[in-house]
Structure 1
Amino acid sequence: MPAERVSRLLEDIRLLDQERFELVYALREIILGLDSSVAEEVKYGGILFSAGKPFCGVFSYARHVSLEFGAGASFPDEFKVLEGEGKLRRHIKLLVAEDITAKHVCEYLRLALKASAAA
């Protein structure tokens, strides 16, 4: 059932905006490739990823895609790309596929996965 819900959400995004779909799909592939224990589920209108514990989520909005970290406020922000002012959460706003590299998304995903394993 979770795989079917993810597929339906991805198809909905694709029908709305091909570029956002490609961005969400690319992020999803990177996240699932981090570790064999990474699982996904549709929740809160996006795709949440966990490896025992939740560590990030991908949400498609009208003009951007957001990579969200529930514990992002505790991450070192070496590249100054994390946004948000809350006590715990931070996110990275992505507009085009090139932002994945330009905003060092892989480094932040590794931090998130490591933080969830330590918690």
Structure 2
Amino acid sequence: MPRMLLVTVLALLCSACSSGGDRYDPPGLREVTAANQCMEQCQRHFDSCMTSSSSVDSSDRCGAGVATQRDTRCDTIDNPDLRKRCQASADYCRNRLPALTCGENRSRCVSRCGG
């Protein structure tokens, strides 16, 4: 009986090894080069974003003074909860770090590269 079990296991192992399953083919040079170029482009955009964001006023990052307009609009809201949310949103926009914004953009870019 143990001999029969051994033969069965051996037969199963041999059939599994000899099956014509999918073979792994590494990506070709063209795909690797295109992905690398895409990622390098994402890095260039990130570097440019960081350079331009550090030299621009924080209110401009929110869209040409929109933050100050929001503050004015927030003051006219009667509901205290909505006014606080409006002010928090304006503060978040004004105080958002360039690294966070530029980093999010780079992450989205790299994900489109397949990386």
Instruction: State the TM-score, normalizing by the size of structure 2.
Output: 0.24
Higher strand share: 1
Instruction: State the TM-score, normalizing by the size of structure 1.
Output: 0.23
Q: Select the structure with the greater relative contact order (CA < 8 A; seq sep ≥ 6).
A: 2
The structure with the larger Rg is 2
Higher helix share: 2
